[in-house]
Amino acid sequence: VLQSSSSLKASYEDWLLTYGLSISPFHMRWQTALFNRQFYSWGRWKPKFLYLWFSIGMVFGIVAMFGSVILLGKTLMQTLTQMLTEAPSAQNDRVLQVVVGVLCSGFIFVPLGFLLCFVLLSCPHQQVPGVNLPVSQLTYFFSAILISGVVHEVGHGVAAIREQVRFNGFGIFIFIVYPGAFVDLFTTHLQLISPVQQLRIFCAGVWHNFVLGVASFMVLFLLPAILFPFYYTGVGALVTEVAEDSPANGPRGLFVGDLVTNLQDCPVYNVEDWNSCLGDISEKSQVGYCVSAATLQQLSFPTRVYRRLDGTVECCSNNSLTDICFSYSNKLDSHLHACLPARKVIEASKVCRTNMDCQKDFVPGFCVTPSLENQTRLIRVKHPPHIDMLYVGHPMHLQYTVSLSSFVPRQNFLSIDLPVVIETFCKYLISLSGALAVINAVPCFALDGQWILNSFLEATLSSLIVEKQNRELLGFLILLAGSALLAANVALGLWMVTAR
């Protein structure tokens, strides 16, 4: 609208130029020379060290270029195999496919072209905004993208100054909703330096992303030691949030600040134990509880037994919220059932698998097992000093609706959320910065891999393939194959996620 106005167009364009702004559909960019002095300071700091640093980065970039092709090829084959062998229902049942492809999470502009920023599904926690990423995680996601992009471009800028290439400016941008960064280098200088010098500059971005990912991993790994003066670990899993619709929400459920120490007979010392215990409970059959013969006779009452549609047995017909149907066996009959008050049966009992586990001091006892629908479990959650929580439902529902932390504050005024924030942000940095390093090294049009490949061919094949045209043709064919490989991974990766 402003550009179409004859009276405002000139002043509008002057205003944009004055502040280094560029605005177009879905894209806003800001460039400045304010940081040039700082970049030149970094680029001239300890020349020998920087030479070694970017030489290591050059080797890493070349290895990453070949490695990314192997990784994408392997990923594509796994995705195709999975698509052909798995039924659609099996694909839809999974929360996220593991190592099935690449998810495109947005376009990020860099000075060497448009960069596809996306996440390899190497673990089941990678998510895509608008598909399966909670709103609460968007801040981590976009912050990690921006920081990864800035570190990437700082690598290019400092390496260029180290190789005597003129540095014009640094900027940031927003493409649709995705933030990023870029550096503006003097192209003529870049073309005049040797192919090896060019490689140091072109590989610096993926090298810095790799270093950022490693640094984030080290912080994550050493976080218990870093936070030791303020938080202690190894005593349980601290509840930080309970969703409103969580089955653990209620007067006898879990509350923020509770410390979970056991799930059934599985000890919980941290969040990893919590997840592991819930996984084991979900995979294994329901455990039973030891009840003496006298107690069983006292608590049970005559019931009518009937079978559910899935074949399991129900014997409580009084619609009680406190009674559960238990099954057990004696020497004469192995298919006995009793409707018992769950809390009285469980609270003072130990878990068991058979009647033999319940023989104590020659007192006869039975191992009574909750008779529940398939995949449903009765779980005793210990969170002292509170009364045990008895949960009936699918174990994964408990996992998804309760957030926990392994870090317990030493003082009441310390935030229980701070360690979780640091952990989550480090995980996003590792994922996104690592993906940026791997994917940007792919020999593909408009990625750093294009320029890394061209410089690599010039540095290694100039004596074998004398004609520059032939080297350029070889590079073009390799880039065409790399682009097709990348596009296939993106397309199939998106399909695998959206198909569910």
259 in a domain, yes or no? Answer: yes
| Structural domains counted in the chain | 2
Considering the domain architecture, whether residues 250 and 145 belong to the same structural domain is answered as no
Instruction: Please determine, for residue 82, whether its predicted confidence score (pLDDT) is greater than 70.
Output: yes
CB atoms within 10 A of CB 419: 24
Expressed as residue numbers, the domain containing 139 is 33-222+425-499
Q: Is residue 419 part of a domain?
A: no
Is 341 in the same domain as 446?
no
Alpha-carbon distance 110 to 205, whole Å? 10
Confidence band for 484, pLDDT divided at 50, 70 and 90: very high
- Residue 460 shares a structural domain with residue 479: yes
Residues 241, 150 share a domain: no
Q: Which runs of consecutive H residues, i.e. helices, occur in 193-264?
A: 195-226
User: Which three-class secondary structure string do you get for 443-478?
Assistant: CCCCCHHHHHHHHHHHHHHCCCCCCHHHHHHHHHHH
pLDDT tens-digit readout, 433-478: 998 999 899 999 989 999 999 999 999 999 899 999 999 999 999 9
Give the closest residue to 68 by CA, choosing from 471, 461, 496, 436: 436
Instruction: State how far the Cα of 431 lies from the Cα of 170, in Å rounded to an integer.
Output: 25
> CB-hemisphere CA count at 13 Å for 57?
29
Whether 167 and 74 map to the same domain: the answer is yes
Q: Could you give the C-alpha distances from 368 to 284, 325, 338, 354, in angstroms and in order?
A: 16, 9, 9, 9
Q: Are residues 337 and 480 in the same domain?
A: no
Same domain for 246 and 369, yes or no, is yes
User: What is the C-alpha R_g of the chain?
Assistant: 30
pLDDT in tens, 29-66: 999 999 999 999 999 999 999 999 999 999 999 999 99
Q: Is position 153 annotated as part of the catalytic site?
A: yes
In a domain, 142, yes or no: yes
Asked, for residue 7, whether it belongs to a domain, the answer is no
Q: Is the pLDDT of residue 141 over 70?
A: yes
Instruction: Please state the pTM of the whole predicted model.
Output: 0.82
Residue 15 falls within a domain, yes or no? no
Question: What's the average model confidence in pLDDT over 6-21?
Answer: 91
Q: What is the pLDDT of residue 497?
A: 65
Say yes or no: 433 and 459 in one domain. Answer: yes
**pLDDT, the chain, mean:** 86
Lowest mean pLDDT among 109-123, 136-150, 186-200: 109-123
Beta strands 365-370 and 351-352, pairing class: unpaired
Co-location of 247 and 360 in the same domain: yes
- How does pLDDT run across 228-261, given as a tens digit for each residue? 999 999 999 999 999 988 989 988 899 999 999 9
pLDDT value for 384: 92
Note whether 107 and 78 are within 8 A (CB).
Answer: no
Statement: residue 500 has pLDDT above 70 = no
How far is 444 from 24, CA to CA, in rounded Å? 26
Local confidence band at 132 (pLDDT 50, 70, 90 cut-offs):
low
Please pick, among 153, 163, 314, 458, the residue that the annotation labels catalytic. 153
Quick one: tokens of 34? 């304010």
10: which residues sit within 8 A by CB, 6+ positions away? Answer: none
Q: Is 256 in the same domain as 209? A: no
Identify whether residues 177 and 244 lie together within a single domain. no
Q: Are residues 80 and 161 in the same domain?
A: yes
| Chain position carrying tokens 């899993």 | 237
